[in-house]
């Protein structure tokens, strides 16, 4: 059962009640420093080797998972009992204050096995000062299905209570098959775009989960990070498994249920949020499509720039005028540098903007799942209420017809359904309160993520433009020297 405490006042510092198209306030408000008195830092103050976040360099010795480069020698805290439940852990963290952090890095993809039975394992490096963990720094190897299995466990535990579970990265049959069929010694397949994108997506998933004040202390999550042995194979995550096919049919049924069942909403907050999430989803999908088109156009521009550079170089070799030939040659060199900038900018557009938008489209899907879970709880409650009314009518008819024995049996059923109705109402009220708390946290993190991403993107864009100006300024004297 979800927490019965009243939620805190919503959105005191972030105005999210307006329509996104009409909002005129600064969406990058800075009221994002404190989330419920708990700070789980995913911004690495320094890398594991004293390096910056962008270039962590863990040790290559895989025989000792605890030997992660640059970690300080600290006394290992006494292991916490494995039976500690998430709520007790959360209360312990709140008592300890807001100086706790949980830092997770996913790195070093390596292929294990051969043929269709092979898989890619990722090194999950964890650094923390939370007393719930047995050590302050450790690392394990996990395969992609392990991440999906962890996500399924968290959904099974917390979705019913109204928690927003960060979505796991999507599976790709084509990309996975290419990796499986590649040569065992072909390291190029492990350094390609597919594996790197998946590694980055897994790291973002782990960071979002670690940033949640309840999910980060879940026993299954801690076992995923700490257990040095291989985890039980999550066969249900396979798209071709029986569980995968059953899950597909369940999704179809859920979709039909979402379309056909319309809940009589008495809370205007949920009605407003449902509309807001639909609008935000549509806007993000359109923006994501536009950014993808921009990436394609930048790559096309880079290809055309390269073609122009080659043509200018060939023309310079044919030109008899010395100054003009030198200027054309310099122009070809400049265009080659411009081509490199266009490619870098296209990669920046994709890695910074596209990935953020794709993540939040999936996150909004997770929000919709929580909202639909509330609708399912409401359906169960209303079904219990309907059955209670029928049992009461049946009891009244039996009493009027002079059948006291059957009337007593009907009375017992009335009591049972009355208890179900009360439990249904309590569960509905609890999940409604929990969703409001989760949505407050979601909105705060969303504003923070978009602010950081947009600032980073603009900084990279300005840097590329400055480099572009320098290249053309260096070419200008050559153009003026033509006599």
pLDDT at 169: 87
Q: Which residues pair with 119 in a beta bridge?
A: 112
**How much is the pTM?**
0.69
**H/E element, 372:** helix 355-400
Estimate the crossing angle of helix 322-348 against helix 268-318, to 10 degrees. 160
Starting at the edge strand found earlier in the chain, the sheet holding 137-143 runs 102-112, 119-128, 137-143
CA distance 129 to 77: 9
Among candidate residues 114, 214, 119, 103, the one with its CA nearest the CA of residue 157: 214
CB 82 within 8 A of CB 219: yes
Same fold across 87-231 and 266-482: no
**Residue located via tokens 């050559």:** 478
Domain locations along the chain: 87-231, 266-482
Q: Which CA distances in Å does 379 have to 130, 374, 384, 385? A: 40, 9, 9, 10
d(CA 127, CA 137): 4
Note whether 205 and 169 are within 8 A (CB): yes
The whole-number pLDDT of residue 126 equals 93
What local confidence, expressed as pLDDT, does residue 253 receive? Answer: 56
For residue 393, CA distances in Å to 397, 398, 424 come to 6, 9, 21
Q: How confident is the model at residue 140, as a pLDDT? A: 92
Q: Can you give the pLDDT of all 483 residues of the chain as single tens digits? A: 444 444 444 434 444 344 434 443 443 343 334 433 344 444 443 443 344 444 444 443 433 333 333 333 444 344 444 334 344 444 444 444 457 889 999 988 888 777 677 788 899 999 998 888 888 899 999 999 999 999 999 999 999 999 999 998 888 777 777 766 666 555 555 656 788 888 889 999 999 999 999 999 999 999 999 888 888 776 555 544 555 555 555 555 555 555 555 666 678 899 899 999 999 999 999 999 999 999 999 999 999 999 999 999 999 888 888 888 899 999 999 999 999 999 999 999 988 889 899 999 999 999 999 999 999 999 999 999 999 999 898 888 888 887 777 778 888 888 999 999 999 999 999 999 999 999 999 999 999 999 999 999 999 999 999 999 999 999 998 888 886
Structure tokens of 37? Answer: 């008195």
Non-local (6+) Cβ contacts of 42 within 8 A are: 102, 103, 104, 207, 210, 211
Give domain 266-482's CATH number out of 3.40.50.1820, 2.60.40.10, 1.20.1270.60, 3.10.580.10: 1.20.1270.60
Contact 320, 478 (CB under 8 A): no
Question: In the Cβ-directed half-sphere of 88, how many Cα atoms lie within 13 Å?
Answer: 9
Residues 6+ apart with CB under 8 A from 470: none
CATH number of the 87-231 domain: 3.30.1520.10
pLDDT for res 247 = 54
């Amino acid at each position: 059962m979800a927490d019965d405490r009243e939620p805190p006042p919503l959105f005191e510092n972030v105005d999210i009640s307006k329509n996104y198209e009409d909002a005129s306030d600064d969406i990058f408000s800075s009221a994002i420093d404190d989330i419920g008195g708990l700070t789980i830092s995913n911004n690495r103050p320094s890398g594991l080797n004293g390096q910056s976040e962008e270039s962590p360099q863990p040790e290559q010795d895989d025989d000792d998972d605890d030997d992660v480069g640059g970690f300080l020698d600290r006394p290992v805290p006494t292991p916490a009992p494995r039976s500690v439940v998430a709520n007790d852990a959360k209360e312990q963290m709140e008592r300890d204050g807001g100086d706790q952090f949980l830092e997770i890095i996913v790195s070093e993809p390596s292929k294990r096995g051969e043929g269709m039975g092979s898989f890619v394992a990722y090194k999950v490096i964890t650094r923390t000062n939370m007393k719930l963990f047995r050590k302050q720094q450790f690392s394990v190897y996990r395969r992609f299905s392990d991440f999906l299995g962890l996500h399924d466990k968290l959904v099974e535990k917390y979705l019913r209570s109204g928690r927003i579970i960060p979505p796991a990265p999507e599976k790709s049959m084509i990309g996975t098959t290419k990796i499986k069929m590649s040569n065992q010694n072909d390291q190029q397949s492990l350094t390609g775009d597919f594996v790197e994108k998946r590694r980055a997506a897994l790291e973002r998933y782990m960071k979002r989960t670690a940033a949640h004040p309840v999910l980060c202390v879940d026993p299954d999550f801690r076992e995923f990070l700490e257990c040095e042995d291989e985890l039980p194979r999550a066969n249900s995550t396979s798209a071709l498994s029986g569980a995968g096919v059953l899950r597909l049919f369940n999704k179809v049924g859920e979709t039909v249920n979402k379309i056909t069942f319309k809940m009589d909403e008495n809370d205007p907050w949920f009605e407003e949020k449902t509309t807001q999430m639909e609008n935000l989803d549509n806007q993000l999908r359109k923006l994501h499509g536009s950014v993808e088109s921009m990436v394609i156009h930048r790559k096309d521009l880079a290809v055309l720039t390269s073609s122009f550079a080659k043509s200018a170089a060939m023309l310079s070799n044919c030109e008899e005028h010395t100054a003009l030939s030198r200027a054309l040659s310099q122009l070809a060199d400049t265009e080659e540098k411009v081509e490199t900038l266009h490619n870098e900018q296209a990669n920046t557009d994709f890695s910074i903007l596209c990935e953020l938008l794709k993540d939040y489209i999936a996150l909004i899907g997770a929000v919709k799942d929580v909202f639909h879970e509330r609708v399912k709880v409401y359906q169960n409650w209303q079904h219990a209420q309907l059955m209670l009314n029928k049992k009461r009518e049946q009891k009244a008819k039996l009493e009027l017809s002079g059948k006291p024995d059957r009337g007593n049996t009907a009375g017992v059923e009335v009591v049972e359904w009355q208890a179900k109705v009360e439990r249904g109402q309590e569960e509905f009220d609890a999940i409604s309160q929990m969703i409001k708390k989760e949505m407050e946290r979601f909105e705060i993190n969303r504003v923070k993520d978009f602010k950081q991403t947009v600032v980073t993107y603009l900084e990279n864009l300005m840097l590329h433009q400055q480099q572009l100006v320098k290249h053309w300024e260096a070419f200008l004297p050559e153009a003026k020297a033509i006599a």
